Amino acid sequence: MLLADLPTPQVLIDRRRLLENISRVQALATAAGVALRPHSKTHKSPAIAQWQIERGAAGICCAKVGEAEVMAAAGIGDIRLAYPVNPSNAARVLALMDRVSLSIVVDHLAVAQAWSELMDRADRVLDVLVKVDVGFHRCGIDPATPAALDFVRSIDSLRGLNLRGLLSHAGHGYQATTENELEVIACRESQILTDLRDRAAEAGIALEEISVGATPTLRFITRQRGVTELRPGNYVYFDRTQLALGAAALDTCALTVLATVVSKPANDRVILDCGSKTLTSDLSRGFEPTPGYGLVLNPDATAIDPTFAIERLSEEHATVRTSDGTPLQPGDRVRILPNHACVVVNMVDEVLLVEGDQVIERLPVAARGKIA
């Protein structure tokens, strides 16, 4: 099928760019001597997870038990729930442990104790990593205090849990305003983790794994001494935010949204059929200010068309300001690089793998919309 014959809006994935991204980041991890364990939140596709593993990934990450269930059912054998999974999901976690090598993260003693009791009672052992706050101030223990080592010691002592190591996410990298700031964040991240690992070693606790992961900082992996695992997600597709953070080039961005001009109420305004229920209201981050809801590209997605600004989204409309007298007319198609690929994929039941102007394959977003 030709792109020109598709109903819109559609989420398109450039197959060649996708596979090149998977291979390039795998090569980077391999060269740095670290395991790559991609986060599947971006694609939510067992097929893409399998391609990542075939090209060298050690396994995958999921955020939700429901996503891990879909990936396990599709044959993925090694899954890390990079999330402080609540013990109310114990029955499903135990069922998953029967099928795959599973690990979760912990950052709260009462939660870890509950998991410990559940596992001990089931006569099972659950692999866990301690989540460490490296500056994002979301989840994770505060590494700067003596309590951090106490926490590691407590987890290590709990029956039914096997403490594998430390894990972090430098989500504050998305707020960086310069390349240098990003590099400092990456270097501090590994420093914080290896410091805590060394303190644990002095206390007689061997922490095997030091796991980091975020697409903006992955290019500094060779500066992150002591790291054993990299967990980026977004790099398979990239997006406007990664472009604006220097993590991607336009010709590596694999995901675009194909949209149709549905109205042209004024000479300098066109309306597209991709609103917040397609592009989402996520704003772009980046070193420079990045207003609007995505970038309009030229037809083959090789250049940004600077004459368009996606100023406003309604649920099913994008209001686009353009130069006076744009040749675009209702019925014409445009391709958009969205601000944030992960949330765009999460809006659709399938994405379309494309090569040039041809649709090659329909890929279900099979792990979308799962609970817990």
Residues of this chain that interact with its own copies (CB under 8 A) are 7-10, 41, 63-66, 83-89, 92, 107-108, 110-111, 114, 133, 137-142, 171, 260, 262-266, 269, 271, 273, 276-277, 280-283, 312, 314-317, 319, 329-331, 342-343, 346-349, 369, 371-372
- Name the residue nearer to its own copies (CB basis): 259 or 337: 259
- Name the residue nearer to its own copies (CB basis): 92 or 99: 92
- Name the residue nearer to its own copies (CB basis): 85 or 227: 85
Q: Give the C-alpha separation, 87 to 128, whole Å.
A: 13
Q: Give the C-alpha separation, 302 to 117, whole Å.
A: 55
Q: Check if the beta carbon of residue 18 is closer than 8 Å to that of residue 48.
A: yes
Residue 23 CB, nearest approach to its own copies (Å): 25
Tell me 298's DSSP state: P
- Name the residue nearer to its own copies (CB basis): 94 or 111: 111
Q: Give the C-alpha separation, 134 to 190, whole Å.
A: 9
- Name the residue nearer to its own copies (CB basis): 52 or 260: 260
Residue 225 CB, nearest approach to its own copies (Å): 26
Paired strand residues for 211: 167, 229
CA distances to 143, 177, 182, 213 from 172, rounded to whole Å, are 16, 11, 9, 12
Q: Give the C-alpha separation, 275 to 253, whole Å.
A: 21
Residue 317 CB, nearest approach to its own copies (Å): 6
Residue 330 CB, nearest approach to its own copies (Å): 5
DSSP-H helix ranges across the chain: 15-32, 46-54, 65-73, 90-99, 109-121, 146-157, 179-202, 240-244, 341-345
Nearest CA-CA partner of 364 in 353, 351, 355, 354: 351
- Virtual torsion, Cα 280, 239, 222, 76, nearest 10 deg: 70
Residue 122 CB, nearest approach to its own copies (Å): 19
- Name the residue nearer to its own copies (CB basis): 223 or 317: 317
Residue 324 CB, nearest approach to its own copies (Å): 16
